[in-house]
Amino acid sequence: MSDETPHSECWLQGRAIVSGIAVGLPFFLQECSLQSSETSRSSFSLSDEIARLASAFAHTQHELGILVDKLSSEGFCQEAAVIETQVALAEDTSLRQEIENAIQTQFLPAEEAVREVTEEFRGRFELLPEIVFRQRFDDVDSICQRLIAFLTMGGYAHGQIPQHAVVFAKSVTPSIAVEMSVHGVGALVTTHGGPMSHTAIVAKARGIPYVSGIDDSRMAPSREGGKVIVDGLAGLVIVNPTNETMQRYMALAAAHDLCLQENTVAAAPETRTRDGQRIALLANVSGVPEMKQVSCFGLDGVGLYRTEYQVLEHRRFPSEAEQAASYAEMVQLAEGRPLVIRAFDFSSDKGWEEVWDVLPNVKEGRRATSLLLDHQTVFQAHLRAIIRASRHGPLSILFPMVSSVGELEQCKLLVQEAWSFVCAEKEVAFPRIGAMIELPALAFQTRALASMVDFLAIGTNDLIQYALAVDRSNTACFDPNLTFHPGLLHLLAIIVRESTAVGVPVSVCGEMASDLLMTPFLIGVGFRHLSMVPRLAPMVRHLVRSLTVEECERLAREVLGMDSPETIRARLREWYCRNHGVLQC
C-alpha cells in the first residue's frame, strides 16, 4: 500500500485516535532542531551559547505567560493551570543551571545541551517508583521542547506553525496540544500516543483529528512538503494525494461539515434511531467551558462531571464553600437538564499533589470511592457541597470505581447524613444516586449494585485498563484492537443485560461512547445512554439516526460470536465503511 516514490500518493496506516478529516501542509515539530544545531556547532562560543539559552528561557516564559492569559480569558481555567505549572518550572533556576552546566562542561550548543538534559531527566524520572512523579516529566519535556524550538527556529508557538498545518511529531504533550489548538492546528500525526491519553482528550475536546503510530521512517514521504490528508476515523495519513483522492476526501469533509452543522443545533430534536428508539446523548465535562458546549451541541444533559478537575482550577484542594459554589454554577448552566456530578475521583496516577495532604491514603494506592471512604470528613463536606447545589436545579451523585456492594452501602448512608444536614438549613430534594462500574469483577455484581441505585455508568477507560492489563497513561504501546477485545464486549453485554433486567438505566461514559465503530454494537447490546466529549456528539447523533435497532442487534450478536479483537474490529469497520461511504484501507 505504501509507495515511497517522491511526489506519488502514499498511504500510511496508523492508529485512529480522534476522528475527523483535515487537509494541510506538513509541519515537523522536532525536525527544526537538527538543522540549526549544525550551523551553531561551526561557530561555537561559550558566552554566546549561555546568552542564547538565557533568551530562550526569557522567550519561553513570555510565551507561556501569553498562553496562560489567552486560556484564562477564554475560560479554559484548567488548561491555564497546567501551563502555569510550566511557567513555575521555567522560572525555577535548577533546570536552567543543569543546561548551562552541559554547555560549559561538554561544550555543547545550547539546543544540544537542552536535548542532553532532557534525556537525562527522562532517565531520572523513569526510575521514580510512582507514576505520579514519572508523569511530571511531561512538564520538563514541554519546557525543553519550547526551548529547542526557540533556539532552532525562534519558537514555534506564535506564527511558526501555520494555521491548518498537519503537525508531525514523535509525541505531543497535553500542554503543547492545548497551545497548538489555540493557534489553529489542522491535525496531529505522532509516533506515540493512545486514545485515552490526555493529549487525545484535549484533541477531541477541540475537534483536532489525530492519528498516532506513524514512526519516523514512515513520516519520510511527508517531508517532501506536499499536501497531507489526515483521516482520524480510519487512522489514515495520505501524503501527496492525487486529485481523485483529494476530491473524494473533500466530498467526505464537506459531508462531515454539513453533518456537523445539521446535527449541531441548540434545540436539536431528540436523537432517535431510524426506527424510533430514543438514544440519550450526554456530555462528559470537567468545567465551565465544556458545560457551555452542552446546549450548543444539543446534548440531553451531562452524564459525567469530573469534579476532581476543580483542584487544577484552584491549585489547591477546594474548600466546602468553593466546591458548593462551583457545583451551583454548573447546575445553573445545565438549565434543568440532567446533571450527573461524580464524586472526586482521585488516584495517584492522576498526579495532583494538592490532594496528598488532604487525602493522604492516595499515596498508599487507594483511589476513587475507597479513598473518599478512608477520609470521611472530607467526603462528608464534598457530599454536602454537592447536595447544597441541588437548590439550583436537579442533580445526581455518581460514585467512581465502586469496588464492592458494601462500599456503595456506606456511600448511601453518607449521602443520607449529608442530605439531612443540608435539609436542616433548607429543604432540598434527595439526590439520585449512581455507581460507576469500572472494575471487571463488579460487572458480575451488576444486579446487586443496580438494586441499590437509580442508575449505573460504565467507565470504559478504566474497565479496559483493568480487564486487559493496559496502563491507560502509557501511550507508547497502545494496541488499537484492545477496545474490540471479545472479553470486554461480553463484559459490556453482561452489564447492560443485568441492569436492564432490573429496570435500572446504564450509560457508557468512557471514550468508547464516542467511537463511531462501536456505536452500532453498543446500541445492539442494549445501551440507550452514551456520554461523551460534547464536540463529538453531532457525529454520533448523525450515525444513530441512520441505524435501526434490529440491524444493530444483528451486528452485535455476530461480533459477540467472534474470538479475536482483530476480526471484530475489521468487521465493525467494514460495516461502518459500507454504510457510511468512508474509504476502506
Binding site for Mg ion (CB under 5 A): 438, 459, 462
Which is closer to ligand PEP, CB of 422 or CB of 458? 458
CB of 345 to ligand PEP, least distance (A): 6
Bridge partners of 457? 436, 507
CB of 504 to Mg ion, least distance (A): 20
Residue 49 interaction partner, one of ligand PEP, Mg ion, none, beta carbon < 5-8 Å per kind: none
Give the per-residue contact string, 96-135, with ligand PEP (x = CB under 6 A; - = no). ----------------------------------------
Chain positions 501 to 530 lying near ligand PEP, rule: CB under 6 A, are 509-510
Burial of 321 (0-12, 13-18, 19+ CB in 10 A): exposed
Which is closer to ligand PEP, CB of 306 or CB of 485? 306
CB of 400 to ligand PEP, least distance (A): 7
Residue type, 128: L
Cα 544 versus chain centre, distance: 23
Which of 50, 52, 140, 131 lies closest to 95 in space, CA to CA? Answer: 140
Among 461, 473, 500, 548, binds ligand PEP (CB under 6 A): 461
CB of 394 to Mg ion, least distance (A): 24
Which is closer to ligand PEP, CB of 143 or CB of 343? 343
The Cα-based distances of 241 to 187, 210, 215, 225, 580 in angstroms read 16, 18, 20, 12, 21
Interacting span for ligand PEP (CB under 6 A) from 250-258, 274-282, 454-462, 495-503: 454-462
Among 24, 194, 241, 459, binds ligand PEP (CB under 6 A): 459
Rounded to whole angstroms, the Cα distance separating 190 from 475 reads: 11
Helices (H), 43-92: 46-73, 77-91
Residue 112 interaction partner, one of ligand PEP, Mg ion, none, beta carbon < 5-8 Å per kind: none
Residue 300 interaction partner, one of Mg ion, ligand PEP, none, beta carbon < 5-8 Å per kind: none
Chain positions 280 to 309 lying near ligand PEP, rule: CB under 6 A, are 304, 306
Which of 313, 260, 307, 269 lies closest to 285 in space, CA to CA? Answer: 307
CB of 472 to Mg ion, least distance (A): 9
Rounded to whole angstroms, the Cα distance separating 29 from 171 reads: 9
Residues 6+ apart with CB under 8 A from 437: 402, 443, 446, 449, 456, 457, 458, 459, 463, 495, 506
Among 79, 138, 462, 551, binds ligand PEP (CB under 6 A): 462
> How many Cβ atoms are within 10 Å of 1's Cβ, its own excluded?
8
Which is closer to ligand PEP, CB of 279 or CB of 530? 530
Asked if 310 interacts with ligand PEP (CB under 6 A), we say no
Asked if 345 interacts with ligand PEP (CB under 6 A), we say yes
Which is closer to Mg ion, CB of 100 or CB of 462? 462
Which is closer to ligand PEP, CB of 196 or CB of 395? 196
Q: Is 212 in contact with 13 (CB distance < 8 Å)?
A: no
Among 179, 231, 438, 551, binds ligand PEP (CB under 6 A): 438
CA dihedral 350, 355, 361, 362 (to 10 degrees): 0
Asked if 212 interacts with ligand PEP (CB under 6 A), we say no
CB of 461 to ligand PEP, least distance (A): 3
Which is closer to ligand PEP, CB of 60 or CB of 465? 465
What does the chain come to in residues? 585
CB of 135 to Mg ion, least distance (A): 16
Residues 6+ apart with CB under 8 A from 257: none
Bridge partners of 333? none
Which is closer to ligand PEP, CB of 404 or CB of 461? 461
Residue 509 interaction partner, one of Mg ion, ligand PEP, none, beta carbon < 5-8 Å per kind: ligand PEP
Which of 136, 144, 161 lies closest to 110 in space, CA to CA? Answer: 144
Which set of grid coordinates corresponds to residue 498?
Answer: 443485568
Helix (H, G, I), strand (E, B) or coil at 193: coil
CB of 477 to Mg ion, least distance (A): 20
Which set of grid coordinates corresponds to residue 266?
Answer: 441548540
Interacting span for ligand PEP (CB under 6 A) from 100-108, 143-151, 371-379, 459-467: 459-467
Rounded to whole angstroms, the Cα distance separating 198 from 203 reads: 9
Specify the DSSP class assigned to residue 584: P
Q: Is 531 in contact with 457 (CB distance < 8 Å)?
A: yes
Q: Is 186 in contact with 166 (CB distance < 8 Å)?
A: yes
Helices (H), 390-518: 405-425, 440-443, 446-450, 460-468, 486-501
The number of residues that bind ligand PEP (CB under 6 A) is 10
Chain positions 364 to 403 lying near ligand PEP, rule: CB under 6 A, are none
CB of 284 to ligand PEP, least distance (A): 7
CB of 401 to Mg ion, least distance (A): 6
Asked if 460 interacts with ligand PEP (CB under 6 A), we say yes
What angle is formed at CA 142 by the lines to CA 141 and CA 144, rounded to 5 degrees?
Answer: 65
Which is closer to ligand PEP, CB of 293 or CB of 548? 293
Tell me which residues touch ligand PEP (CB under 6 A): 304, 306, 345, 438, 459-462, 509-510
